[in-house]
Amino acid sequence: MTPWRLTGWVSVAMLAFAGNSLLCRMALKHTSIDPTSFTLGRLVSGAIMLLVVVRLKRGVVTPANNGNWWSAAALFAYAAGFSFAYVSMTAATGALLLFGAVQATMIGFGLIQGERLRLSQVAGFALALVGLVVLMLPGLATPSMLGSMSMLGAGVAWGAYSLRGKLLQSRGASNPTLMTAGNFARTVPMALVLSLLLWPHLAWDSAGLAYAVVSGALASGLGYAIWYQALPALKATQAATVQLSVPVIAALGGVVFLGERLTLPMLLASAAILGGITLVILEKK
């Protein structure tokens, strides 16, 4: 893959990941759709898009033989927590909390497995945690505690999903796109069960459903397929570092499309989070 083509794939993937935050926030803020319905629409459309991608690439559709239920459960927990969190927070705040929780989960797992951090990495990890605490202080970005916990839980779930994906690949699992298609397909019955449990609270309209479909089919399904296309050409540190751009893109998109404000305290907290994580990532062997 040429450097220009790789840059293009990575750029599109990062825009897609940030787009999930913007689309979810737009839907919950400007339409009558509820978080459960958005989650269902996103997962169903994502599953369909990935089936199309797999069929075009391989000529067969065999999602049932790929992925597994534990990974699908983590994926569903991420998608549901993500949607419920965005009821009460800005796109930028949600992306930062999500990203911080994902990285903390993966770094923490490495420590449990015996990895050791250098002094600069410890300082970076502490700096990122301070940034997360400051970000959640009252009056800064005003996320509710329930919403914050929901987004942090979504981040932990996504971190667990990523770790399981790496583990399964190391054991000779099928290619990531096919595995993701299988996992998305398995999340659909979970989302249907959640919808039945919260049936009295369901609400949606055509605009909200359109946001969910775009989020699932393009920003999630196609975005993940593009990311997995570029991932083999990236070093681990490059892959981790480039994702630092996602909260920044989400913040800028929130200002442009949602009229959100970026205050100086929030910018400082964001710099602490992203800078701290960068110190940890760039020092990893």
Domain ranges of the chain: 3-283
Section 213-231 average pLDDT: 91
Helix pair 145-170, 91-112: axis angle to 10 deg: 50
Taking only the tens place, the pLDDT of each residue in 257-269 is 998 887 787 788 8
CA separation, residue 180 to residues 53, 164, 189, 194 (Å): 11, 11, 16, 21
Task: Give me the pLDDT at residue 47, please.
Answer: 95
Least trusted range by pLDDT, from 73-77, 139-143, 189-193, 277-281: 139-143
Q: Which two tokens mark 240?
A: 């981790």
Residue closest to 89 by CA, chosen among 258, 205, 280, 270: 258
Section 166-187 average pLDDT: 81
Return all residues near 36 (Cβ < 8 A) that are at least 6 apart.
Answer: 80, 83, 191, 194, 195, 198, 201, 202
Provide the pLDDT confidence category of residue 39 given band limits of 50, 70 and 90.
Answer: very high
Tokens 């015996």 identify what position?
114
Q: Which two tokens mark 150?
A: 């929901």
Taking only the tens place, the pLDDT of each residue in 49-62 is 999 988 887 665 55
Yes or no: say if 126 and 180 are a contact pair by the CB < 8 Å rule.
Answer: no
Return all residues near 259 (Cβ < 8 A) that are at least 6 apart.
Answer: none
Q: Which two tokens mark 118?
A: 């250098």
CA separation, residue 164 to residues 104, 157, 260, 261, 279 (Å): 16, 10, 35, 37, 24
Task: Give me the pLDDT at residue 78, please.
Answer: 97
Provide the pLDDT confidence category of residue 223 given band limits of 50, 70 and 90.
Answer: very high
Helix ranges restricted to H, the chain:
3-30, 35-58, 69-85, 91-112, 119-135, 145-170, 176-197, 206-214, 223-230, 236-242, 245-258, 264-283
Q: Which two tokens mark 86?
A: 């965005």
Task: Give me the pLDDT at residue 136, please.
Answer: 67
